[in-house]
Structures are given as structure tokens and as C-alpha cells.
Amino acid sequence: MRLPVVFSALLAQAGALLAAFLAFKASLFFGLLLPLWGLALLQSVTAVVLSGLFGLPPWWFVIQGLFVPLLLLVSRFNLPPHFFLGGFLLLWLIFFSNAKERVPLYLSNETSCTALASLLPGHRPFRFLDLGSGLGGLLARLAEQKPDGQFYGVESAPLPFLVSWLRLKKKSNVHVRYGSFWNENLEAYDVVYAFLSPEPMAELWQKAKHEMRAGSLFVSNSFAVPDCSPARTVQLNDARHTRLLIWEM
């Protein structure tokens, strides 16, 4: 059985702390006193080794290895507790949906916006929906390029939603809503755009198939739907090697 990633990470940290504690006790027994940074190094290396044994993805090794040494370093600055509470709240407000949805905040680039605009109807009304609209930048750019369209966004993280609402409230053809896209009926839209992560794609595709009208477009930036090839793929010439995957419903 494979443990959830966060649980494996916590277990690796706990095991590594135990190893450092036992090394400390053993050093006392032999009349030695291991320096704190020596213990931190031991804890760090053990955390990385255990993370590997628990099958965590490689990018976790950096987090696991630096966690305790950085805790020790930061504790030297005697920062007030509000500093940490403030940092936690800020991250929570930005990455609110991460723990449940496993979709972080990163933004569609200019190249993706231009390619997406070329897929939208010209000179006739249409409705476009951005699932997880982030800071609203994509909607703002598309609304300028395609004034005949009505652009909608739904975002579940409080701070990105607030930023997008403030920047878009004066644009008459852009509408952002706070909430989860799982509660949004996709039937009303001609084009639905998703730039999310691999995690929700299978379930999202089921929702799109049930709700979207015949003739409408479902576009995913970068992330494939398992076992369902897109009708078209647009390969973009940017640093991320972005692909727009397009399904005609």
C-alpha cells in the first residue's frame, strides 16, 4: 500500500529526528557531545534517505533535507510568532485549494493567451470559461483581444480571487466568481479552458462530457486526459514547451 505523500514526508522527518536523538544519547553515553549542526546534518541526510525509501518524488528530497537545518537557522533570528502566523496565512490564502485539489497557482503565459485567442470565434458572441482563473490575467488579455466574447472565471483561492476581482471589476465582458469549478455547470459555455494539474483531469473530463454542449471546445493547457486523446494538439514555441490539448465535444 502506498502512503499519501504528506504522511510519508512526516514519517521520514519523524524517523530522522529519532535517529538524531538516538545519536545524541549515544554520544553522551560515550562522553562526547555532538555539536548541534552535526546532529542537524545527520537528521537532514536521514530524512532524505528515508524519503527515498518511502518513494517520495525527487523534488521532495530538497524540502526534506533543508527543513530542520532551516528551522535551526531561522530560530537564531528570534522572529516574533506573528511572523510565522502571517507567512502561514498568506500561503494559505494563495494556495487554499492545494491540499484538496492538488492544483497550485501558476499562470498561463503570453504565448498561451495568443494561441488560445486564435481558437476563439471572431466577430460573433460566445462564452468562455477559465476553470481556476487565478489572478485573472488570462481573462483580461483575452477580453481585450476578443471584445465580442463574454469571459467568465471561477477561482477557489481567496487571495487570487480578490486580486482578479479588483483588476477585472471595471471590464464589462469579464465576470469572476468565488467558488469551486466543480459546482459550475459547463453547459452554458462555448469554450472551457483548464490549466490545472494531472490530478483532476480524469474527473473533470467526465464532468465536461456530461455537461458541455455538442460543438463546444474543451481546452487543457499541458495536462492530458487519461486514456482520451485530444482531437487536436497545438504545440507552442515557448520556454515551457506548452501544448494546448483541444477536444471538440
Choice between 105 and 246, CB closer to ligand SAM: 105
d(Cα 44, Cα 40) in Å, to the nearest integer? 6
CB of 139: closest distance to ligand SAM in angstroms?
8
Query: Which cell goes with 128?
Result: 468562455
In the complex, residue closest to ligand SAM by CB: 132
Choice between 33 and 240, CB closer to ligand SAM: 240
Choice between 43 and 164, CB closer to ligand SAM: 164
Residues in contact with ligand SAM by the rule CB under 6 A: 97, 101, 103, 105-108, 130, 132-134, 137-138, 154-157, 160, 180-182, 195-196
- Rounded (to 5) percent helix, strand, coil in the chain: 50, 15, 35
CB of 85: closest distance to ligand SAM in angstroms?
22
Choice between 83 and 182, CB closer to ligand SAM: 182
Q: Is 29 exposed, middle or buried (0-12, 13-18, 19+ CB in 10 A)?
A: exposed
CB of 192: closest distance to ligand SAM in angstroms?
11
Supply φ then ψ for residue 222, to 5 degrees.
80, -35
d(Cα 23, Cα 17) in Å, to the nearest integer? 10
Contact between residue 140 and residue 130 where contact means Cβ atoms under 8 Å apart: no
CB of 96: closest distance to ligand SAM in angstroms?
6
Contact between residue 149 and residue 126 where contact means Cβ atoms under 8 Å apart: yes
Choice between 101 and 190, CB closer to ligand SAM: 101
CB of 25: closest distance to ligand SAM in angstroms?
45
d(Cα 174, Cα 240) in Å, to the nearest integer? 27
